[in-house]
Amino acid sequence: MNILIIDDDAIDRMSAIRTLGESELTLDQVDQAPTAEEGIRLATQRKYNVILLDYQIPPYNGIEVLREIRGSNDYATSIVMLSHSNDEQLALDCIEAGAQDFVMKSEVTATRLKRAILLSAERHHLELQVRDSHDMLRRLAEQDSLTGLSNRYFFDEALKDAIPKAERNGKQLAVVLLDLDKFKNINDTLGHQAGDIFLQEVAQRMEVPIREGDKLCRLGGDEFAILVHDLVHPTQVRLLVNRVFDALAGPVEIDGHSLEITASVGIATYPDCATDAVGLMKCADVAMYRSKSLGRNQVQYYSRTFHQAVESRVRIENDLGKALAANQLLLHYQPQVDAKDSSLVGIEALIRWEHPELGLVPPDEFIPIAEESNLIIEIGRWVIDTACRQFSEWLKAGASTNMKYSIAANLSARQLKDGGLVSFLTSCLEKYQIPPASLELELTESSLEQSLSALDMLNSLTDMGIQLALDDFGTGYSSLSHLKQYPLNILKIDKSFVQNIDDKKQANLLKAICSFAHSLEYETVAEGVETKEQVKICRELGVKRLQGYFFSRPLPAHQLKSRWLS
């Protein structure tokens, strides 16, 4: 038996050890702790059968120490409280706090201590059995016995708890109801055992795409539900449902029968659709039955605005895949000028999408979708190739022969993981006879954060002679040491610092950014320059290049040539 004595009185500890030796208990180890902190540390790091705990152990009392041990040790040890006081209320308080026995120090004899230890150990054993039984009953009450998923009771309780939490945190959440299509036919034709196997397979597949923290449950029959927490954008739910459909793709083989899985899905969001659990479930149920009525194996959203937002995104994603082949993408070009004399020193290529029905779709609407769907690789290569081809045409036409300027294009995090990027760029530069130093590729701080594994790729680009620029600098979270890991040549200062230059704090930040960039010998480009005052301040701070509406908006290639290259 292993015993821990927590008592600040050395004489009392020695008396307890002597009494234990007389008790005829089989003692393997007896440890001592003269302070509460030491006692808590030993109790939480080692395994003891019994802890003898002094009620008065300054600056704490025994109940505080007991609760600390119980909280961290998960009731793994029985505790006997020792005290010089014979206060019955004190004894009752200790028992209620979790002690198994309370013994006055004046009554501690070998026989009394042995009985207290054995009884407390037995009581503690019974407590553990009761706790385990309670946990088992709770699991049985909350678990679906067929699939092993959580059941309707658990889902209802989780939804009730989630709504007030979402309200406090200002977050959205969603209920996704999924009903298997024509499941009754399986039971009717192959029997209920086949139906059970089918449901188990569906449950196993659905568990794979669920995010950590979200709740997947079987509500009953062939109906499942997902509680989605912490929604930032409605498309998160659509992407989740897409992953669920992907997981359910492929037939289930049962007794020689190949059974396809299709499902009708209804989605409702808090607080758009309803602000209570009952209302939210009703909305999701309505959406699910609408899905069934419209032909099954599809998704319907209860919220009209939510539904429209998702449908718009789906349309953009679908149309974006056709945009390249249909020649709907185009580039505009924005000049960068020398801060000293406003001569042309660089041109940035900026993508545009002329949708035949939606009109001009802003890049911040379709580029994130392209990155999610992997279209960004193809689109990114098209941007670079088109920009290089146009740059080559300007050079061959002898435009602005006395000026040395560069062409810049954006590079996303996913493109840094494109194994063929280096060979593509090499081919592109050779095909259009462009010096590598005349090509600048711009990355954002977020793309660097997401692409630590692509450091070799960046070094390869630098080895080719290509210039690397960090775009929107100052808006991310790069530390100086982190930034120095990358072979960057240019820092493009985000327009927010330039356009808010009248604010003293922003002006100081701009000054600090310029000082930092110059100290590390980065070339600087100020974006968003719109006024003479901004030009003046940027010049005073030693910014080398300026870019913004003060000089020119992004222009089609022919307009840029006529205004800047002739």
Share of the chain above pLDDT 70, in %: 92
Tens digit of pLDDT for each residue in 10-66? 888 888 888 888 888 888 888 998 988 888 888 888 888 888 888 888 887 888 888
Tens digit of pLDDT for each residue in 262-289? 999 999 999 888 889 998 998 898 888 8
What integer pLDDT is reported at residue 390 of this predicted model? 95
How far from 68 is each of 43, 98, 314, CA to CA, in Å? 10, 11, 53
Kindly indicate the confidence band of residue 454, based on its pLDDT and cuts at 50, 70 and 90.
confident
What integer pLDDT is reported at residue 504 of this predicted model? 79
What integer pLDDT is reported at residue 378 of this predicted model? 93
CA 359 to chain centroid? 33
Q: What DSSP string runs through 84-125?
A: S---HHHHHHHHHHT-SEEEEGGG--HHHHHHHHHHHHHHHH
Q: Using alpha carbons, select from 82, 77, 17 the residue that is nearest to residue 43.
A: 77
Q: Using CA of residue 499, residue 500, residue 505, residue 507, what is the dihedral sign?
A: positive
CB contact at 8 A, 361 and 316: yes
In CATH, the architecture of 316-564 is Alpha-Beta Barrel (3.20)
Report domain extents, the chain. Answer: 2-140, 152-302, 316-564
What integer pLDDT is reported at residue 310 of this predicted model? 67
CB contact at 8 A, 487 and 458: yes
pTM: 0.54
Mean pLDDT of 379-402: 85
pLDDT at 133 over 70: no
Q: Would you mind telling me the total number of residues written for the chain in this entry?
A: 566
pLDDT at 315 over 60: yes
Secondary structure letter of residue 356 according to DSSP: T
What integer pLDDT is reported at residue 177 of this predicted model? 95
Select, from the ranges 173-177, 362-366, 493-497, the one with the highest average predicted confidence (pLDDT).
Answer: 173-177
Q: What DSSP string runs through 294-355?
A: TTSSSEEES-HHHHHHHHHHHHHHHHHHHHTTTT-EEEEEEEEEETTT--EEEEEEEEEEEE
Least confident of 231-240, 447-456, 549-558: 447-456
What are φ and ψ of residue 52, in 5° steps? -95, 115
Residues 6 or more apart in contact with residue 85 via CB below 8 angstroms? 55, 104
Helices 304-323, 235-248: crossing angle, 10 deg rounding: 70
Q: What is the mean pLDDT of the chain?
A: 86
Residues 6 or more apart in contact with residue 500 via CB below 8 angstroms? 506
Report the distance separating Cα 417 and Cα 100, nearest Å.
61
Task: Provide the CATH number for the domain formed by 2-140 in this structure.
Answer: 3.40.50.2300
Tens digit of pLDDT for each residue in 172-206? 899 999 999 989 889 888 999 999 999 999 999 99
Report the distance separating Cα 393 and Cα 407, nearest Å.
12
Mean pLDDT of 246-268: 91
Report the distance separating Cα 184 and Cα 195, nearest Å.
8
Residue of 308 and 209 predicted with greater confidence: 209
Tens digit of pLDDT for each residue in 455-471? 888 999 999 999 999 99
Return the beta strands (E) in 181-320 as ranges: 215-220, 223-231, 252-254, 257-259, 263-270, 299-301
Domain 152-302 has CATH 3.30.70.270: yes
Share of the chain above pLDDT 90, in %: 37
Kindly indicate the confidence band of residue 137, based on its pLDDT and cuts at 50, 70 and 90.
low
CB contact at 8 A, 164 and 229: no
What integer pLDDT is reported at residue 480 of this predicted model? 58
